[in-house]
Amino acid sequence: MKLDIRRRMLLLALSGSILSFLALGLIIFFGVMSARDTVAERGRLLGASASNFVESFAEDQARRRLSAHVGEKARHIERELEHTRRDAEEIAQTMKLILAEKEKYLPRALPDPHTETVASGEPYLNMSRAVAAGGVDEEMRRTMGISGNIVDSLSPRSRFYTGVFVGSKDGWLIAADVTPDGGPAKFSEKFLDSYDPREMNWYKLAAAAGKTVFTELYTDTNGNRCITCATPFYDEGGFAGVVGVDCNAEEIYQQTADLEAFGKTSVKFVLSKNGEILFSTQKEGPLAVTDVPRDLRTSEEQSLALEASAMAAGKNDVSLVTIGGQQVYLAYAPMESLGWSFGSVISQEEVTYPARYARDNIQGQMKEFSEDFRSLLQQLTGVGVALLLLALVAIVSLSVKASSHFVRPILSLTEGVNDIAQGNLDRKLDLRTGDEIERLAECVNAMTGNLKTHIENLARVTADKERIKAELSVAQRIQAGMLPSVSPDFSGQTAFDLDAGMNPAKEVGGDFYDFYMLDENRLAVTVADVSGKGVPAALFMVVAKTMLQNSALAAKEGENLADVVARANDAISKNNDQMMFVTVFFGVLDLRTGVFDYVNAGHNPPLATSGGGPFAYLAVAGKPDKPLGVMEGLSFRQQSLTLAAGDALFFYTDGVTEAADEKAELYGEERLKAVLNREAAAMPSMKELIAAVRQDISAYVGEAEQSDDITMMGLRYLSAETK
C-alpha cells in the first residue's frame, strides 16, 4: 500500500525528530562534561561582567539624576528672575500708560528725602540738588506730580525686593527702598546732593539696550549682594526713562540651596561668566567663596579648569573631574538670564557604592551555583549515556530506510522543475507515484503550457505599452514647447514682472497660458482651461491657443477685446463635433498707462492687489460670459481696470482651488488668497510668488494624486514705459 505525502512526511518528521534528539543529547552531554570544568571560571567572568554592567549603569543613572538635579535648580533661579523681569516690565508699562494719559491723573505728592523722613518700603521722590540747579520748568514739575501715581505699582512690590525705582530722563527718581532692619531710610549728603539716575550703570545698560537687562552682581549700600533688573519706558516723545528692580541674589540662591541635596557629599555653587564663584555651600576649599575673586578657569586642577570654562560658556554637561586629589562628578546647567551657571559635585565613591555591593553579592551567588551544578552533572552523566546509546540504535536503522524510499520521486520532480526553470518550457514531467507528487507533476505540466502562452502575450502587450509611452513623452515635450517662456524675451523687462507655469495631471493636459507683445506698448496675457484631460484636451488646447492668439494679433489697436474673443470663439466652435469647450481669461495691459482691458469667458476670476493692499478676487459684473467653443455667434464683454506701479494680478485655473488632499477636501479660494497675502507682504518676484503657492499646494495635498491640471500666472505692473 502506497502512503500519501502526509504520512510520508509524518514518518520523515518522526525520524528527523529522533535523530535531532540524539544529536542534541550528544551535544548536551559533551557540553555538560565541558561545563563541569569551566563553570567556575564562567561564574567568575559572569560576576565580573555583571558588576561592570551594574557599575556602568549606576554611573549612567547618577549622571542623569545629577543633570536633572542641577537643571531643576537652575530653572528655579530662572523662574525667580523671570518674576523679577515681569514685575519690572509691568511697572514700565504702567509708567507708559500714565504718561500717555496724563489728563486722567491728578498730581500726587511724595515724601522728599531732602526734608522728610522716609519709612522702609515707602515710595519717595528725589531730585538731587545738582539736577535741580539745572532748572525745573512747569511741565517737568507737572510730569513729576503725575508720575507719582506709579507708587500704586511700586508699594506692593517693595515687599519682595530690596528696592523698586523709576529713573526719569530728566534726572528725577521715584523709589521705594527696603532697609535691612525695617527702620527709616537714611540718605547720605552725597546722595541728596548729586544722585542722578542717568549716571547709574543700571540706567545706562537699559537705555543702551532698549530692552530689559540684568546687571552684574554688586553689593548695595545696605551690604546686600544684589542684581538689578532694568527696563526702559516711553512716552509720546520716545524714550522717557528706566524702571529698576533690585533683588537679593543671595536670597534667590539660598532658596535653591535649601532644596533637597543630591547625595551626602554633594556641594552646590554658582559660577559667573567670568569664572568667579559667586555662591557655594562649601565654606572652605576650591569651591568656596573667597574675599579676593578668583577665576576657577585658571585652577591648577586641569579637569576642573576645563569644565569651569564650559560652565562660563553657558554649556550643560556632567563630567568626572579631580578636586583636591579626589575624583568627583561635576554637573552644571546654565542660567541664561544672568550668564551664570549652577553646579553640583558628588564624590565618585558615593556613586559607585551600589555597584560594589552588587558585585560582591553576585560573585557569592555564582560560587554557590558552581558547586551545585558540579554535583548535578555527576548524577546526570551516567543516565544520559545509557539512554542515548539505546535511542541511537533504533533511530538510525529506521531513518535510513524511510528517507531512501521517500526522496526518490521528489528528486525526479526537482530535476524536471529545474529544467523548466532554465527556460525549457517544452519539458513534460512523467511521474507515476499515485499520490500528490504525481498530481503535482500534472499541475506543473499545465502551468508550463499556460506560462508559455502568457509570456508570448506579455511580450506583445509590453511592446505596445512602450510605444504608447514613447509617443506620450514626445507629446508632452511638444506641448511644453508650445507654452511661452519668460526667458529670454521678457527677462529684461522694467515695465512689468511676469511669470507662469503649468503642471499637467497626466502626461499631457488641457490647461494653457500664453503671453506675447501685440506691439511695443501692449502686453497680451491668457490663462485657459479646456474641458477634459489627456490627449483630447491637449489637442483642443492647441487649437484654442492658436485661434485666440491669431485673433489677437490680427486685431487693430483700439479694437474692443470682446470682438477679438468673439472672433476666436467662432473659429473654435466651427467643426467642434466633440462639443468640447475652454474657459478663457484674456487681457491686454497698456504699458504706457497701466490700463488693463480683459474678457473673462467663464474662467475663474483672478486676484488683484492695488496700492499695496491685500489680494482680492475681481468681482464679476452681471452674468458671466460663456466659455469658448460652446456655439458660434456668442458675444462677450470687455472690462477694464487701471494698475498703478506695484499693483499685481494672479491668474489660475480651477486645478489650484480644487486640489484635494487625502481626505478629498479642497484647497479652496480662501486659502489661495491667504497664501498670496502672506507671501506678497515681502514683495517677492512673480516667480517666487508662484513657487510659494505651488509649495503650499503640495504641502496641503500630501500623498494624494493630482486630479486636475494646475496652471498659474503672475503679473505685476512696475512702471509706465513708452516707445
Per DSSP bridges, beta strands 225-235 and 317-323 are: unpaired
- 162, three cell numbers: 530690596
- Entry field: residues in the chain: 723
User: Is the torsion defined by CA of 356, 359, 365, 371 positive or negative?
Assistant: negative
Whole-number pLDDT of residue 259: 46
How far from 397 is each of 6, 18, 19, 26, CA to CA, in Å?
21, 11, 11, 18
d(CA 16, CA 410) in angstroms, rounded, equals 17
CB atoms within 10 A of CB 84: 22
User: Is the torsion defined by CA of 557, 563, 566, 567 positive or negative?
Assistant: negative
Report the DSSP beta bridge partners of residue 717. Answer: 496
Q: Which long-range contacts (CB under 8 A, 24 or more apart) does 337-340 make?
A: 337/78, 337/81, 337/82, 337/85, 337/214, 338/81, 338/214, 338/227, 339/272, 339/273, 339/314, 340/77, 340/270, 340/271, 340/272, 340/273, 340/278
> How far from the centroid of its chain's Cα atoms is residue 285's Cα?
46
Low-confidence residues in the chain, pLDDT < 50: 259-260, 474, 722-723
3-state SS class at 36: helix
Compute the CA torsion angle 539, 540, 541, 545 (nearest 10 deg): 110
Cβ 603 vs Cβ 583: under 8 Å:
yes
Per DSSP bridges, beta strands 225-235 and 213-214 are: antiparallel
d(CA 310, CA 306) in angstroms, rounded, equals 7
Instruction: Please report which helix (H) or strand (E) contains residue 587, including its range.
Output: strand 582-590
> How far from the centroid of its chain's Cα atoms is residue 645's Cα?
38
- 327, three cell numbers: 575624583
Identity of residue 347: S
Cβ 580 vs Cβ 633: under 8 Å:
no
- 336, three cell numbers: 541664561
DSSP 602: B
Report the DSSP beta bridge partners of residue 118. Answer: 185
Identity of residue 396: V
How far from 627 is each of 113, 572, 601, 659, CA to CA, in Å?
87, 11, 5, 22
- 60, three cell numbers: 549612567
Report whether the peptide linkage leading into residue 488 is cis, meaning its omega lies within 30 degrees of zero. Answer: yes
Whole-number pLDDT of residue 676: 95
d(CA 522, CA 555) in angstroms, rounded, equals 12
Cα 199–202–208 angle (5° rounding)? 85
Computed on alpha carbons and rounded to an integer, the radius of gyration of the chain in Å comes to: 45
Report the DSSP beta bridge partners of residue 230. Answer: 213, 244
Alpha-helix runs per DSSP H in 265-347:
302-312
pLDDT, tens digit (0-9, with 9 covering 90-100), for 451-480: 777 877 776 776 666 665 555 554 556 555
Contacts of residue 61, Cβ cutoff 8 Å, sequence gap at least 6 = none
pTM of the model: 0.42
Cβ 532 vs Cβ 708: under 8 Å:
no
pLDDT, tens digit (0-9, with 9 covering 90-100), for 289-322: 787 778 889 888 888 889 889 988 989 998 889 8
Report the DSSP beta bridge partners of residue 515. Answer: 525
Instruction: Please report which helix (H) or strand (E) contains residue 1, including its range.
Output: none
d(CA 265, CA 401) in angstroms, rounded, equals 77
Report the DSSP beta bridge partners of residue 175. Answer: 124, 165
Cβ 707 vs Cβ 505: under 8 Å:
yes
Give the chain's domains with CATH numbers: 84-251 (3.30.450.20), 259-351 (3.30.450.20), 423-482 (no CATH), 490-717 (3.60.40.10)
Identity of residue 242: V
Strand ranges across the sheet with 582-590: 511-517, 522-530, 582-590, 595-601, 639-642
Contacts of residue 272, Cβ cutoff 8 Å, sequence gap at least 6 = 216, 217, 278, 312, 339, 340
3-state SS class at 524: strand
Phi-psi region of 683 (alpha: psi -120 to 50; beta: other; left: phi over 0): left
> How far from the centroid of its chain's Cα atoms is residue 228's Cα?
36
Report the DSSP beta bridge partners of residue 498. Answer: 715
Cβ 501 vs Cβ 697: under 8 Å:
no
3-state SS class at 649: strand
Cβ 376 vs Cβ 290: under 8 Å:
no
d(CA 462, CA 467) in angstroms, rounded, equals 9
CB atoms within 10 A of CB 620: 11
pLDDT, tens digit (0-9, with 9 covering 90-100), for 620-658: 777 889 999 999 999 999 999 999 999 999 999 999 999
Cα 277–283–286 angle (5° rounding)? 50
Contacts of residue 160, Cβ cutoff 8 Å, sequence gap at least 6 = 87
- 582, three cell numbers: 475652454
Cβ 544 vs Cβ 586: under 8 Å:
no
- Which of 194, 207, 92, 202 minimizes the C-alpha distance to 147? 92
d(CA 216, CA 202) in angstroms, rounded, equals 9
Q: Please, what is the angle between helix 561-573 and helix 534-554, to 10°?
A: 140
What is the greatest pairwise CA distance in the chain? Answer: 131
